[in-house]
Amino acid sequence: MIRLEKRPQPSRAWSMATPLVAVLATMLFGGLLFAALGKPPVEAIRTIFWEPLFGEFAFYYRPQLLVKGAPLVLIAIGLSLGFRAGIWNIGAEGQYIMGAICGAGAGLAFYPAVSFLIFPLMVVAGALGGWAWAMIPAVLKTRFGTNEILVSLMLVYVAEQFLASVSLGLLKNPEGFGFPGSRNLQSWDSAHNAELIAGSGMHWGVVAALIAVIFAYVLLNRHMTGYHIRLTGEAPRAAKFAGVNPTRLVLFCLGTSGALAGLAGLFEVSGPSGQITIDFNVGYGFTAIIVAFLGRLHPVGILLAGGLMALTYIGGDIAQSNLQLPAAAIQVFQGMLLFFLLAFDLLTNFRIAIGKPEVA
């Protein structure tokens, strides 16, 4: 008889090993998936994980790791603060969209002016846009006891409709020959989030992501708010006796995650993406959930996990081009990572036992 038996104490070894085991399991079962699609599994896995780093065109793909990884890390850092406190913001995708819209809108309001103040204004507007969108589930939760998971998730679809609306209306390029979408911010120096070092992939979004990692580490380990976050997640009853204000904590965690997601949206629309379009969002807000858990909700772990997930994005694109893998297969492959992470994480608190349970 095989059963799960609760451990007296969580296994530290399994807690550390789970991300690595999950990655290996994803490679194994991902290879089986690719084989079922008639593609060479070893070649597919090699293409995804090797080509962007050491392949023939690695000099081009390596900078893209920063471009793809920065928004994932920035969003995941914000999500991790709430997740550690048991506050579940699943709507970062919507906050990412609203940050991009507000940031781009703030800049386009001054087009075609030339000023070094325009981009900082866009950064503030992007953060405020994401923060305001996250405040909706925060206020509803603290005032009316609603579920922040459902509210934040449903607001993603509202944000997507708003994105389509402004792409076709308010922010539509009047010189775009009728095509939906805003002006291209890459062609306007005052609003362009350009590379800080040419060819490196390093832009202000990457800098913001690194600052967020440092901020989160210091907050969680050196600040009373971080202690309250950890205490609430690990021992909710003890947090009440310690005088933790749950309303303030909900507002802080959701507000911070919303602001960081909004910043990610602003840096993306003013940089790599370049403009507001109907299909601007590419799922960073949802993928960042995988990054947060793969990084064990630890700032440094999230930084590494963001790089790994960026690798699957770039490698997946190469695999689609070179091996004609369908995009859906790459998305399933990325989803496997979260599935196996959660599955193997069970072994942190439980162990597999064989035989009949002992009767006390």
User: What integer pLDDT is reported at residue 360 of this predicted model?
Assistant: 52
User: What integer pLDDT is reported at residue 358 of this predicted model?
Assistant: 61
Q: What confidence category does residue 237 fall into, taking pLDDT thresholds of 50, 70 and 90? A: confident
- Domain assignment present for residue 328? The answer is no
Using an 8 Å Cβ cutoff, are 10 and 349 in contact?
yes
Please report the DSSP string for 76-138 in residue order. Answer: HHHHHHHHHTT-----HHHHHHHHHHHHHHHHHTTTT---TTHHHHHHHHHHHHHHHHHHHHH
Close Cβ partners of 101 (under 8 Å, ≥ 6 residues apart): 129, 162, 163, 166, 171, 265, 276
169-210 pLDDT tens trace: 999 999 888 889 999 999 999 999 999 998 899 999 999 999
CB atoms within 10 A of CB 99: 37
- Give the CA count within 13 Å in the CB-facing half-sphere of 127: 11
69-126 pLDDT tens trace: 999 999 999 999 999 999 999 999 999 999 999 999 999 999 999 999 999 999 999 9
Query: What's the CA gap between 320 and 314, in Å, rounded?
Result: 10
264-280 pLDDT tens trace: 999 999 999 999 999 89
Using an 8 Å Cβ cutoff, are 4 and 351 in contact?
yes
- Domain assignment present for residue 96? The answer is yes
Using an 8 Å Cβ cutoff, are 261 and 99 in contact?
yes
Domain count, the chain: 1
User: Which of the pair, 178 or 340, is modelled with greater confidence?
Assistant: 340
User: Which of the pair, 122 or 359, is modelled with greater confidence?
Assistant: 122
- Domain assignment present for residue 344? The answer is no
Phi/psi for 104 (5° steps) reads -65, -40
Against a cut of 0.85, is the pTM above it?
yes
- Domain assignment present for residue 205? The answer is yes
CB atoms within 10 A of CB 52: 25
User: What integer pLDDT is reported at residue 149 of this predicted model?
Assistant: 96
- Domain assignment present for residue 351? The answer is no
- Domain assignment present for residue 358? The answer is no
For residue 263, the surrounding DSSP H or E stretch is helix 246-269
Range of the domain at 90: 60-297
- Domain assignment present for residue 64? The answer is yes
Close Cβ partners of 216 (under 8 Å, ≥ 6 residues apart): 77, 80, 81, 299
C-alpha 139: how far from chain center: 23
**C-alpha pair distances (Å), 100 with each of 50, 122, 300:** 32, 9, 26
- Domain assignment present for residue 81? The answer is yes
Q: What confidence category does residue 56 fall into, taking pLDDT thresholds of 50, 70 and 90? A: confident
| Backbone dihedral region for residue 249 (phi beyond 0: left; psi -120 to 50: alpha; all else: beta) | alpha
User: What integer pLDDT is reported at residue 359 of this predicted model?
Assistant: 55
What the block records as the tokens of 71 is 């928004």
**C-alpha pair distances (Å), 318 with each of 27, 57, 288, 321:** 16, 10, 21, 5
Query: What's the CA gap between 319 and 68, in Å, rounded?
Result: 17
Phi/psi for 6 (5° steps) reads -65, 135
User: What integer pLDDT is reported at residue 357 of this predicted model?
Assistant: 64
Using an 8 Å Cβ cutoff, are 87 and 249 in contact?
yes
User: What integer pLDDT is reported at residue 43 of this predicted model?
Assistant: 94
Average pLDDT of span 202-220: 96
SS3 176: coil
